[in-house]
Amino acid sequence: MQTMIHHMEDCPKRVRVVFQGIYIIDTRKAKLVWEKPQYPTYFFPNNELPSWYLDNLRLIPEGAVYDLAAGAKRAVGGVTKYTNPTSPIEGFFKLDFPAMDAWFEEDEEIFVHPKDPYKRIDILQSSRHVRVEINCQVIAETRAPRMLYETTLPPRTYIPRTDCQAEMLIPSEKSTGCPYKGRANYYSVQLLTGEIVPDVAWSYRYPTQESTSIRGYICFYDEKVDLFVDGEKQVRPITHFS
């Protein structure tokens, strides 16, 4: 079955990939390829990766899959090359993004996947009255939220930590990454009854440059709490965090 390509275009950025402490990719010839409509993947010309990093060839209809090997480190199935002349990505390969040590666009590290140049984030200071409740207990209340608007995703409300009931927030082991905002650390909430509501809020301690204005702010899953904005309860189906 041929890989579905929704869109592809040249990337003007210098792209570098680190594996086992080595820049195995350092190129200005990357392509952004939308295999999924939600976000792009980086593809590179086949001659951008020296053959000595490739091991354990397995043929597939569109080309071949290899392990990526450098020193003692190995990423099983980390490289997919496309050699089928009927494919729009013939002559290119992709790397398993999370299996690499680090990715850079110019000198800025990126996370999770390449940024989509057709999406953006707006973070706006607001004076709306926001209140967060769980089981009728007020967890946070503010008149100085920051509203985050991200293309194709529902808006999120970030609340100053000082306007949250800090004693009810319990750091969680959960962590997730976002290419536009950085790495999020999660919190559970312990109610006055002793009940713990797991992983119901998150915060960015070290956000990306474009999202520095939400550093240290707390965002609650609107879908898992009762969120009131200017006295009106918000209703939203469960989605991914933002």
Q: Which two tokens stand for residue 140?
A: 């946070």
CB 125 within 8 A of CB 214: no
- Taking the C-alpha atoms of residue 104 and residue 165, their distance in angstroms, rounded to an integer, is 38
| Residues 225 and 133 sit within 8 Å (Cβ to Cβ) | yes
d(Cα 209, Cα 181) in Å, to the nearest integer? 8
Q: What are phi and psi of 164, to 5 degrees?
A: -110, 155
State the span(s) of the chain assigned CATH 2.170.150.40.
Answer: 7-110, 121-233
Gap between the Cα atoms of 218 and 198, Å rounded: 15
What's the CA gap between 158 and 156, in Å, rounded? 7
Class for domain 7-110, per CATH?
mainly beta
Q: Which two tokens stand for residue 129?
A: 């009255």
Q: For 221, how many CA atoms within 13 A lie in the half-sphere containing its CB? A: 18
Structure tokens at 51: 């053959």
Tokens of residue 90, six digits: 């013939």
How far is residue 7's CA from residue 233's CA, in Å, rounded to a whole number?
Answer: 39
The pLDDT score that the predictor gives to residue 113 is 94
- Residue 237 pLDDT: 57
The tokens for 242 are: 């933002």
Four-CA torsion 91, 96, 99, 105, nearest 10 degrees: 70
Q: Kindly give the confidence (pLDDT) of every residue in the chain, 242 residues in length, as a single tens digit, with 9 standing for 90 and above.
A: 556 788 999 999 999 999 999 999 999 999 999 998 889 999 999 999 999 999 999 999 999 999 999 999 999 999 999 998 888 899 999 999 999 999 999 999 999 999 999 999 999 999 999 999 999 999 999 999 999 999 988 899 999 999 999 999 999 999 999 999 999 999 999 999 999 999 999 999 999 989 999 999 999 998 899 999 999 998 865 554 44
Bridge partners of 46, per DSSP, are: none
Name the β-bridge partners of 235. none
pLDDT at 92: 97
The architecture in CATH of the region 121-233 reads Beta Complex (2.170)
Give the pLDDT of residue 225.
95
* Residue 242: per-residue pLDDT: 47
Question: What 3-state class would DSSP assign to 188?
Answer: strand
- Structure tokens given for 107: 């000198």
- Identify the pLDDT of residue 241: 46
Q: In the block, which residue shows the tokens 């969120």?
A: 227
